[in-house]
Each structure stands twice: as C-alpha cells, then as structure tokens.
Chains A and B, each alone.
Chain A
Amino acid sequence: MARAPQTLFDKVWQRHEVCAESAATPAVLYVDLHLIHEVTSPQAFAVLRGRGLRVRRPERTLATMDHSTPTTTAQVFGGAPIAIDAAARQVRELEENCARFGIELLGLKSAQRGIVHVIGPELGLTQPGMTIVCGDSHTSTHGALGALAFGIGTTEVGHVLATQCLLQRRPRTFAVNVSGALAPGVTAKDLILAIIGRLGVSGGTEHVIEYRGNTIAALGMEERMTVCNMSIEAGARAGMIAPDETTFAYLAGRPRAPAGDAWERSLAAWRELPSDPGARFDREVSIEATEVEPMITYGTNPGMVMPIGGHIPQRPGDPVFARALEYMGLNAGEPIKDQPVNVVFIGSCTNARLSDLRTAAALLRGRRIARGLTLLVVPGSQQVKRAAEAEGLDRVFLDAGAEWRESGCSMCLGMNGDVVGRGQYAISTSNRNFEGRQGPGARTLLASPLTAAASAVRGRVTDPRELA
C-alpha cells in the first residue's frame, strides 16, 4: 500500500517515537543530541543528584558555556577573574557537573567553545533528520540542516539527561512558502523579520514551521540558520529547512560529521528526508521575497517591525502599542531612518557567523564608526573568531573603531557584563527587542549585520543600500 505523503517534520518525528502518543499520554520522543550550557543546566543536575540518577547516554550530550560567560579577553584568557561572581559560580558548577557525570565540555578556554547554536552545526554535530534539544529557545537554529530542534526548560533538560527522551505531544505543521530573489542589500535577517511581521509573535504557536520555496533553496547554510533561529520569535516550536546539496556540502569534512562509508550511508538517508510531493501541512502561507526590504524593529517585540524606509505605524486606542513606543522613545507616524543610535551590537546566535562578519566588514572596510558610538563585534564561536582573524576581518573592525571580543551571547541578553545603558538606542543583530533585554531601560532595534554596520558608520539608523 502506498504510504501517505509525509512532511520533513513527519519523517523526523516518526523515526524518533519510542512510544506513540495516546489520548492519555504524550509520545516518548528520543533525543539524538542534547546541548547544555551554564545557565539552564545546574538545577537539572541537582535533580539527578537528589534522585541518585546517572546521565543515561553522556555521549549524546555536549556542554559549552556562552550565556553568562564574559567576552573580554582578560576574563577568558588573561587570568582576570570573571567579574560577575554568580556567573563565575555557574561556569565552575558546569565544569564540576560535566566532570562528575561524564559529559564532554567545551570549556572556557576551549578553541571550539562558542554560542551553543553556532558550534553544533560548525562541528558537524547537527545533522539532518536528528532530534536536537537544548535549554534555550533558539535551538530552532539547528533546523536549518533539516533537524527537528527545539528549546526546552530545565526540568526537561533533566529528563533528557536521565532518559535521553522527552514526553511530547505532536505539534502541528506550518509551511512558510517563500519565492523570488532577495534584492541587493536585503539579507536573510530581513526576510525572517518580514516573516515574523507577517505571522505575528504568536502566529506559529503550537506549530513547527517548514521554510520552503526557491528563496529558501537559494540561501546559504548560515543564512538558513538565521531564518530558523528566529522561528521562536513567531511563537513556533521549531523551524526546519529540507536538507539539500547546500546542506551536504556544508557538512562534508566537518570534524563530528560522518566520514567514509558512514558518510555515504548518511547521505542516502538524508536524501529521503525532504517533504514528499503532496504532503499536507496544517497551515500554509506564501511570502514574496522580492518585496522584502531591509527591515528594522521599532517596538518591544520582534513582530513590531517595519521596512527601514517606512513610517512607524499608528494604532490609536491601543494602550500596549502606545506603551511600547513610549518605552522606545519613538513616535507613531514618524520615519525611523536617521534615528540616532548609541550602540551597535554585531553578534548572537542569529548573526555572528563568518558570513555575517564578512558582510559587516565589507561595509566597514576603509570607514570609521560615528564619534561617540560603541560598536561591539562578538564572534559566534572561537572558531569563527580565528577564521575571521585569518582573513583580517578583526583589523577591519578595529580600524573602524569597534571592539573585537571573545565569543559568547554577550549583549544579546545582558547577563554577562555586556549591556546597553538605560535609555540608549542599540541596533542589534540579535533576536529580541523586549524591554530591558539588553539591559534595564535599553532600547533595542533589531536589524541585519549590513544595516547594523551602515548605522554604525552614520551613528543613525541607515539604509545600507545608501552606503553600498
């Protein structure tokens, strides 16, 4: 009998069902790869210790430190103590927990350390068809390689450590079909911001998105990661992209990717993963990529987003909207272009890979940032940092007047010493513009690395196409 056409999600889900769901109980879902970090794991290890449990499959968990870990070279390599005591304690506790439970740790001084969602793909650990979880909502990033990857809470981190499984109800599927070529100066970041603007910040709730169409197929691997990374900002559990030749070329030769015969076998299995023709999704939308312009947020969630040349929307009688604009110190109906900015942050699991740094550096080459502005460039991993330095990108950033840091989450979430000051405006290549996200009172404008670099040069919100 012919099998009903399946989506990419259906195939990955089915292959990881230890026990199917019933009316009374959720499915027991097997986890191939578990990534942990210093902030959302300590309480999970405490549960294991309290109940006398071991880590069942330690080889399927990899630890690194990124969230509360500092980014100054002095604190990472120079022997200076980690300035925030509580962060130092988290780093120490992760080291102790990994040693005690037999988990591999890419620790503070490791050449392979980095933001957890940057190093998974970079090492070749993230592979098509896998289930991947981490105590971090941006785990959706790994879906760019055709994995089912989603964020979990600390209790679930404990479940995976103890059993290598999670209890899950099957989410619904959502096809986001994107067609047409992105215009010059328009990046994957602009595309995903436009998609979030269209879906809204809860438009994907209870769904797993599959990004499809010729626009997505034409994106490079790192651009796809930027797109999948922000799936959670539309409320989706996960975002996925079908693996293809771009995916396979990216993975070939990476240190933890399969090699030799295993590579050939994996490749054959991966080619079976894309959604079958005629596969049905619970929801579908279509996006025309040719219409997307450089995008920037003006409010306090990623759905409050607009084309950079546009005017801030007006919503009379909406007190939540009014409060967001009041927090941002911006006025409805006015342009956002030329709004002065104090800080530009190029970093985070959204946009701190080598291609992002190359894009920003190409615009900054031979230019200086505006007087009084701070530009912080934080590579997504130590490997990205070294690769960028090998190309001389660090010199471009430093000559332009930027700070060049060790890898980490940095200013994306303001818990590691890198913060935006109260009332200051920051153009950030990260993923969240929530109130206080980058520090109490900080005002965040999310944009692409290209827009961030252009705005750093002018000291004002700038359409990067003007500096092309």
Chain B
Amino acid sequence: MEPFKTLTSRTVVLPATNIDTDQIIPARFLTTTTRAGLGAHLFADWRYDSAGAPRSDFVLNQAHAAGCRVLVAGRNFGCGSSREHAPWALLDYGFRAVISTEIADIFRNNSLKNGLLPVVIDEATSAWLLAHAGAEVTLDVVSSTLTLPAGTRVPFPLEPFARHCLVEGVDELGFLLGRLGDIEAFERARCGRG
C-alpha cells in the first residue's frame, strides 16, 4: 500500500443514514474473482436507472463531484454485509476517506486494511459537513485530525496500529507473519493442555 499521511479534497455528500454495503455495491457484482474495476458498480442502483443510464439526480453523476476524494455520509455508514468489495469499489472509484458520525464495524476494519480512511466525527461537525457539500477539508492521518475550511481542527479516533500501517504503507499480514513463533508456542501449549 502507498503511505497515507494527509489528504486535502473537496467533499461529496450522501446525507442518507444507514447506507448499507448492498447500496455501496449490490451483490450481483460480487461474482468477480479479482478486486479490480469495482468502481464502475459503486452505488450502482442509485447511480444508474433500470436501463443503465446515469441518473442526473444522483450526486456522483453531477459535475461538481468529479475529483472529490472524500465522501461525507449520514450516520452508520457501511452497515450490513462483510463484503470487502465495498471499500474496494469506493477506492477504485477514487475515494480515499469516508466521514460519518458512525461507521459499521466490519466496513471500518475492511476500509483500514485497504487504505480507505474511516473518519468518525461528532454530530455538530457532521451537520456542518452535510450542509456544505463541496467544502475543502484536510485529513491528517498522523495527528488524526480533520481540518475544516475555516481552520477548525476536529480530532477523530484512529486505532494506533491501523494508523501506523496507513502512515508507513504496510499491511497487517507482515506483522502477523512476524508473530509465527508466538502462534506456534500457543498451539503447542494448547496441545499440552489436551
């Protein structure tokens, strides 16, 4: 993974609450065996009509959304299925961060493992961001802060090991493989206990 230290981008806003992973990428696009190209199906049933034409009333189809790398969404983003295809689709489309007052557990874990930054913020900051689509924000991974256009800095929680992996551009598997000695010792001790 590329190191991820800071990001400045305008925002795209999806105000709905409880946006589930079936909306982020419907199951019928999960019959793939690779992780490439899923951005084409991001929010497929909201982005395209039943004939496959882009819906002009959907935010990602509007000119101002082009190039935005930060998605601001209503409470409890990414609930539902464990499909990692959801962060893969968001990343492939071009997003690098998702901001909400609440982000579902499995989606948050999956996002961190792929370099998509889940940013959980307070209600007031969220209300401001939801009301100011297109605002330019800066996300600093090292200090775990979100900076609003007026310069207000809002801290967000980021699990320290996940932050380390993002900043250094390393994945967790290397760390786990480095613990094989402990894992083998654990297995031997369990065998001994019968």
B114 on the interface (CB 8 Å rule)?
yes
> Interface stretch among B2-10, B71-79, B138-146?
B71-79
A158 near B173 with CB under 8 A, answer yes
A25 near B175 with CB under 8 A, answer yes
Report chain A residues within 8 Å CB of B84. 40, 43, 135, 153-155
B18 near A301 with CB under 8 A, answer yes
A40 near B80 with CB under 8 A, answer no
With A19-B182, A201-B79 as given contacts, are A414 and B161 in contact (CB-CB < 8 Å)?
Answer: no
A104 on the interface (CB 8 Å rule)?
no
A24 near B161 with CB under 8 A, answer yes
B106 near A19 with CB under 8 A, answer no
A90 near B31 with CB under 8 A, answer yes
A413 on the interface (CB 8 Å rule)?
yes
B125 on the interface (CB 8 Å rule)?
no
A49 on the interface (CB 8 Å rule)?
no
Nearest-neighbour CB distance to chain B for A99, whole angstroms, equals 16
- A408-459 with Cβ < 8 A to chain B: 413-415, 422, 432, 434-437, 440-441
Residues of A in contact with B, size category:
35 or more
B147 on the interface (CB 8 Å rule)?
no
With A152-B106, A435-B23 as given contacts, are A163 and B74 in contact (CB-CB < 8 Å)?
Answer: no
Report chain B residues within 8 Å CB of A390. none
A42 to B31, CA, bound (A): 10
B27 on the interface (CB 8 Å rule)?
yes
A202 near B183 with CB under 8 A, answer no
B179 near A18 with CB under 8 A, answer yes
Report chain A residues within 8 Å CB of B175. 25, 167
**Which residue in A67, A135, A201 is a CB contact (below 8 Å) of B18?**
A201
**Which residue in B15, B31, B159 is a CB contact (below 8 Å) of A26?**
B159
A137 on the interface (CB 8 Å rule)?
yes
A215 on the interface (CB 8 Å rule)?
no
Report chain B residues within 8 Å CB of A28. 176, 179, 182-183
A235 to B107, CA, bound (A): 11
With A87-B31, A441-B50 as given contacts, are A201 and B76 in contact (CB-CB < 8 Å)?
Answer: yes
Nearest-neighbour CB distance to chain A for B111, whole angstroms, equals 9
A205 to B83, CA, bound (A): 17
B16 near A320 with CB under 8 A, answer yes
A279 on the interface (CB 8 Å rule)?
no
> Interface stretch among B32-40, B55-63, B90-98?
B32-40
Report chain A residues within 8 Å CB of B20. 301, 432, 434
B104 near A202 with CB under 8 A, answer yes
A370 on the interface (CB 8 Å rule)?
no
A24 near B45 with CB under 8 A, answer no
Nearest-neighbour CB distance to chain A for B43, whole angstroms, equals 11
A159 near B173 with CB under 8 A, answer yes
How many chain-B residues does the 8 Å CB contact rule pick out?
Answer: 52
Report chain A residues within 8 Å CB of B34. 42-43, 46
Provide the A30-51 mask, 1 if CB < 8 A to any CB of B, else 0: 1000000001101100110001
A93 on the interface (CB 8 Å rule)?
yes
A162 on the interface (CB 8 Å rule)?
yes
A18 near B182 with CB under 8 A, answer yes
A155 near B183 with CB under 8 A, answer no
B104 near A163 with CB under 8 A, answer no
B177 on the interface (CB 8 Å rule)?
yes
A151 to B78, CA, bound (A): 14
A413 to B25, CA, bound (A): 12
A235 near B104 with CB under 8 A, answer yes
A254 on the interface (CB 8 Å rule)?
no
Closest to A441 in B: B50
A436 near B23 with CB under 8 A, answer yes
Report chain B residues within 8 Å CB of A23. 160
A136 to B83, CA, bound (A): 7
B65 on the interface (CB 8 Å rule)?
no
Nearest-neighbour CB distance to chain B for A119, whole angstroms, equals 18
With A155-B84, A202-B75, A320-B17 as given contacts, are A86 and B26 in contact (CB-CB < 8 Å)?
Answer: no
Nearest-neighbour CB distance to chain B for A151, whole angstroms, equals 4
B186 near A30 with CB under 8 A, answer yes
A31 to B30, CA, bound (A): 26
Nearest-neighbour CB distance to chain A for B116, whole angstroms, equals 12
B113 near A156 with CB under 8 A, answer yes
**Which residue in A43, A151, A414 is a CB contact (below 8 Å) of B106?**
A151
A319 to B102, CA, bound (A): 19
**Which residue in B15, B45, B105 is a CB contact (below 8 Å) of A435?**
B45
A273 on the interface (CB 8 Å rule)?
no
B45 near A18 with CB under 8 A, answer no
- B36-54 with Cβ < 8 A to chain A: 45, 50
A228 on the interface (CB 8 Å rule)?
no
With A46-B34, A235-B76, A434-B23 as given contacts, are A153 and B28 in contact (CB-CB < 8 Å)?
Answer: no
A24 to B110, CA, bound (A): 19
B30 near A205 with CB under 8 A, answer no
Report chain A residues within 8 Å CB of B183. 18, 28, 30, 163-165
A46 to B18, CA, bound (A): 32
A25 to B176, CA, bound (A): 11
A152 to B109, CA, bound (A): 8
A255 to B31, CA, bound (A): 32
Closest to B101 in A: A202
- A161-180 with Cβ < 8 A to chain B: 162-165, 167, 169
**Which residue in B22, B45, B82, B114 is a CB contact (below 8 Å) of A135?**
B82
**6 sampled A-B residue pairs with Cβ under 8 A:** A18-B183, A40-B82, A301-B18, A301-B20, A432-B81, A436-B45
Closest 4 pairs (CB-CB, A-B): A86-B31, A153-B110, A153-B84, A42-B33
Binding site for A on B (CB under 8 A): 15-18, 20, 22-23, 26-28, 30-35, 45, 50, 74-76, 79-84, 102, 104-106, 109-110, 113-114, 159-161, 164, 171-173, 175-177, 179-180, 182-183, 186-187, 194
Q: A28-B179, A440-B45 are in contact. List 12 more A-B contacts (CB 8 A).
A: A18-B182, A26-B159, A28-B176, A67-B30, A137-B106, A152-B106, A155-B110, A155-B172, A163-B180, A415-B31, A422-B50, A440-B50
